[in-house]
């Protein structure tokens, strides 16, 4: 089980400046196995303790935050995105390079955040619990970023640890996609978050 980050887990701004290049390289390598495309323009980026430490360090650096209160605010914002052993947590992004293309797509994909799923071989689909922090859509369009949690039962986790296939997808009518099975390093990285 992953534990929440504390101030003790973070580099000071000065120390981070010194290690940032190596740390960033390590995180980018780690993130490669935590990215799951769902079609050409939709991607699940699975978060964990390391990806959140990087996000916090970058926010502290960009905002020049060094006081305890500000650091605690960043920890409170990002710690909920760390999986707790029974779930996977992801940032779901709808990425379109052109403004007009994005506007049209986000209007066509209203409700997409409730149609993303994962499935352990031999078990029912697990539907994303989306945007627990705030509502990110209107009747006219969805957001290009959603935060998702996928809750796994003890039986599902045991099946995955024993080698069961893991798949994911969307059953939104304007983005029907199935990734089955999730392969190699990505599967291994995600299963390591569970149990």
pLDDT at 1: 63
pLDDT at 69: 95
Task: Please indicate, yes or no, whether residues 98 and 131 belong to a single structural domain of this protein.
Answer: yes
Task: Please indicate, yes or no, whether residues 27 and 98 belong to a single structural domain of this protein.
Answer: no
pLDDT at 135: 59
pLDDT at 195: 85
Task: Please indicate, yes or no, whether residues 62 and 139 belong to a single structural domain of this protein.
Answer: no
Range of the domain at 173: 34-47+85-195
Task: Please indicate, yes or no, whether residues 93 and 157 belong to a single structural domain of this protein.
Answer: yes
Looking up residue 167, the CATH number of its domain turns out to be 2.60.40
Q: Which residues of the chain have pLDDT under 70?
A: 1, 133-138
Task: Please indicate, yes or no, whether residues 13 and 39 belong to a single structural domain of this protein.
Answer: no
Task: Please indicate, yes or no, whether residues 40 and 58 belong to a single structural domain of this protein.
Answer: no
Task: Please indicate, yes or no, whether residues 39 and 27 belong to a single structural domain of this protein.
Answer: no
Distance CA 21, CA 127 (A): 37
**What is the number of domains present in the chain?**
2
Residues 6 or more apart in contact with residue 60 via CB below 8 angstroms: 10, 13, 16, 66, 70, 71, 74
Instruction: Give the global pTM.
Output: 0.92
């Amino acid at each position: 089980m992953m534990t929440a980050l504390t101030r003790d887990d973070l580099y000071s701004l000065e120390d981070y400046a010194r290690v940032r290049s190596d740390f960033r390289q390590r995180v980018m390598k780690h993130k490669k196995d935590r990215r799951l495309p769902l079609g050409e323009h939709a991607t699940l980026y699975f978060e964990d303790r390391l990806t959140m430490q990087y996000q916090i360090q970058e926010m502290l650096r960009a905002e020049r935050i060094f006081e305890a209160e500000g650091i605690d605010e960043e920890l409170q914002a990002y710690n909920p995105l760390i999986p707790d052993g029974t779930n996977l947590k992801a940032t779901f992004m709808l990425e379109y390079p052109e403004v007009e293309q994005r506007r049209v797509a986000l209007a066509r994909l209203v409700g997409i955040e409730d149609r993303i799923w994962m499935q352990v071989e031999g078990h029912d689909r697990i539907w994303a619990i989306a945007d627990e922090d705030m509502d990110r859509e209107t009747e006219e369009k969805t957001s290009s970023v959603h935060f998702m949690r996928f809750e796994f039962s003890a039986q599902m986790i045991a099946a995955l640890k024993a080698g069961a296939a893991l798949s994911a997808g969307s059953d939104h009518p304007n983005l029907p996609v199935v990734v089955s099975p999730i392969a190699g390093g990505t599967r291994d990285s995600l299963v390591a978050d569970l149990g």
